[in-house]
Amino acid sequence: MMKRLLNWESVLAGVLLALLSNAFILYAAHPEVLILAVPLLMWVLVGVGLFRTGLYRRRMRILRHGAFLLTSFLCATILTVPYEIVVLIHMIGKGETKTALFSILVAVLTLAAAFWVGIISVYLTSYQLGVELRLIGIVCGLVPIANLVVLFLILRTVQKELLFEQEKDRLNAKREKDALCQTKYPILLVHGFMFRDLRYFNYWGRVPSELVRNGATVFYGEHQSARPIAESAKELAERIRTIVRETGCDKVNIIAHSKGGLDCRCALHREGVAPLVASLTTVNTPHRGCLFADHLLNVAPEAFKNKVSSAYNTALRCLGDTDPDFIAAAQDLTKEACLRYDAEFTQPDGVFCQSIGSIVNRAQGGAFPLNYSYHLVERFDGRNDGLVGEESFAFGERYQLLTVKGDRGISHGDIIDLNRENIPEFDVREFYVGLVNDLKKRGF
């Protein structure tokens, strides 16, 4: 890994950065040199890694530039420290302490500029650093030795991300002409309880862009985040009719996560849109409910439930929902309610139905807050994804249960790329490409 970080380009940029950082004496004697030095420094800070080819997405090019700058900063620092020590000793011996101090100041400011441009670029564009490593970087930033160790960990994480994304870009470019996800009918992605796809935040992560790049036409449910199943079904039915009417596509392929799967089953049965749906794929949907939800609703004091509901409803209104109802939506996820819906919403004729589920192998395998809820769900529903028990996932003609080896597993959020995390042994984007490609092969 270190060989990849310290390639000849980053070393060369590091040497150039060191020369620019340690040239105060030259600048003082020949100010005209700054006419060349300043543009060179700006090129290092802004352009040296940003305009190189090899990555499809702008975000990844910025990330690569940040990693390139940080690696160059390390190389330049290694060269600068001994040089400035020699300059300091020599200048003090000549009685020119002020010159030595200015030389050190210019070096520190120049290297600091490279570091901060690099670290900000990385912090803003990396998905794989995570909150924990970012916080550790902030806390250890001023601690000698520890800051270098953390910087190396950051660079190693970013390098893995860059290599993964570069390979992903190569793969997509290679198969672009195959249009693996160019289905006969467009894809409609439907979110679940307390999630969004309309304003401010799309919780499907990197999945939609991957599908589009491989030929898919993608729409979103655009319904409210917290409404009873029957009300969400009405919104989704209208959304389906609108898509069909405005595009002339005749039908849609639905991929629905969590409560969204129940909303869609209800829409197909009660709202008469089954003829407009070619396929329904439910992802981690609680078809037979959550005893965990029953427990929370029954045990929690009424005043507490009302307070939580009010807080969530207020937040959802700020995000664009017009009439959220947290308690009513949660009650529709109880075991009793879902068993009733499951019996009513049988598989419609002419609609291909399938389901997907995933499990977390150990509590720490799920990101916060699923790592805490896992234990509570396990107590009532057994193996689970952090929210929904395994026994509740299956529906339709085909059922897949996903996990990975070790403690990690695949959580309720991982399955829709909520955290934009590259999970070993499970490429979530590639999974959906395969899923949609299967729909294409089935003629949908």
- pLDDT score recorded for residue 141: 82
Q: What is the rounded CA–CA span in Å between residue 420 and residue 208?
A: 12
Residues 165 and 219 occupy one common structural domain: no
Residues 341 and 375 occupy one common structural domain: yes
Mean pLDDT of 264-290: 96
Residues 211 and 283 occupy one common structural domain: yes
Domain with 426 in it: 180-441
Residues 162 and 233 occupy one common structural domain: no
- pLDDT score recorded for residue 200: 66
Q: How far apart are the first and last CA of the chain?
A: 44
Mean pLDDT of 275-294: 92
For 115, 262, 295, 340, 431, the CA distances from 287, given in Å and listed in that order, are 51, 7, 17, 10, 22
Confidence of residue 4 (pLDDT cuts 50, 70, 90): low
Does the pLDDT value for residue 51 go beyond 70? no
Mean pLDDT of 325-352: 92
Q: Strands 352-358 and 218-220, how do they pair?
A: unpaired
Owner of token pair 């849109």: 273
Q: Is residue 238 part of a domain?
A: yes
Domain boundary among 145, 170, 195: 170
Residues 103 and 229 occupy one common structural domain: no
Q: What is the rounded CA–CA span in Å between residue 300 and residue 388?
A: 19
For 12, 65, 104, 209, 318, the CA distances from 109, given in Å and listed in that order, are 20, 20, 9, 40, 42
> pLDDT for 52-78, tens place per residue?
656 667 888 889 889 989 999 999 999
- pLDDT score recorded for residue 142: 81
Which backbone phi and psi does 271 adopt, to 5 degrees?
A: -105, 0
Residues 407 and 343 occupy one common structural domain: yes
Q: What is the rounded CA–CA span in Å between residue 337 and residue 357?
A: 20
Domain boundary among 136, 170, 204: 170
Question: What CATH number does the domain containing 228 carry?
Answer: 3.40.50.1820
Q: What is the rounded CA–CA span in Å between residue 181 and residue 171?
A: 14
pLDDT above 90 as % of the chain:
55
- pLDDT score recorded for residue 203: 83
Which backbone phi and psi does 401 adopt, to 5 degrees?
A: -110, 125
Q: To the nearest whole number, what is the mean pLDDT of the chain? A: 89
Q: What is the rounded CA–CA span in Å between residue 374 and residue 359?
A: 10
Residues 221 and 139 occupy one common structural domain: no
23-57 burial, b at 16+ Cβ within 10 Å, e below that, comes to bbbebeeeeeeeeebeeebeebbeebbbeeeebbe
Lowest mean pLDDT among 83-92, 156-165, 250-259, 295-304: 295-304
Contacts of 84 (CB under 8 A, 6+ apart): 22, 103, 104, 107
Which backbone phi and psi does 244 adopt, to 5 degrees?
A: -65, -40
Q: Is residue 335 part of a domain?
A: yes
Residues 148 and 195 occupy one common structural domain: no
Residues 366 and 217 occupy one common structural domain: yes
Q: Is residue 294 part of a domain?
A: yes
Give the number of C-alpha atoms closer than 13 A to the C-alpha of residue 79, restricted to the C-beta side. Answer: 21
Does the pLDDT value for residue 31 go beyond 60? yes
Residues 243 and 165 occupy one common structural domain: no
Residues 226 and 111 occupy one common structural domain: no
Q: Is residue 64 part of a domain?
A: yes
Q: Is residue 228 part of a domain?
A: yes
> pLDDT for 134-192, tens place per residue?
999 898 888 888 888 899 999 999 999 998 998 998 999 999 999 999 999 999 999 99
Q: Is residue 52 part of a domain?
A: yes
Is cis: bond before 369, omega within 30 of 0?
yes
Nearest to 411 by CA among 290, 257, 284, 286: 284
Task: Look at the chain and report how many structural domains it folds into.
Answer: 2
> pLDDT for 396-436, tens place per residue?
999 999 999 888 899 999 999 998 999 989 999 999 999 99
- pLDDT score recorded for residue 303: 82
Dump strand ranges (E) for 50-191: 187-190
Domain boundary among 110, 135, 170: 170
What secondary structure letter does DSSP report for 187? E
Q: Is residue 175 part of a domain?
A: no
Q: Which residues pair with 94 in a beta bridge?
A: none
Whether residue 110 contacts residue 24, with contact meaning beta carbons closer than 8 Å, is answered with no
Residues 191 and 94 occupy one common structural domain: no
Q: Is residue 119 part of a domain?
A: yes
pLDDT above 70 as % of the chain:
95
Lowest mean pLDDT among 40-54, 93-107, 220-234, 323-337: 40-54
> pLDDT for 373-396, tens place per residue?
888 888 888 899 998 999 999 999
- Report yes or no on whether pTM surpasses 0.95: no
- pLDDT score recorded for residue 2: 45
- pLDDT score recorded for residue 404: 92
Does the pLDDT value for residue 354 go beyond 90? yes
Query: What's the chain's length in residues?
Result: 444
- pLDDT score recorded for residue 1: 44
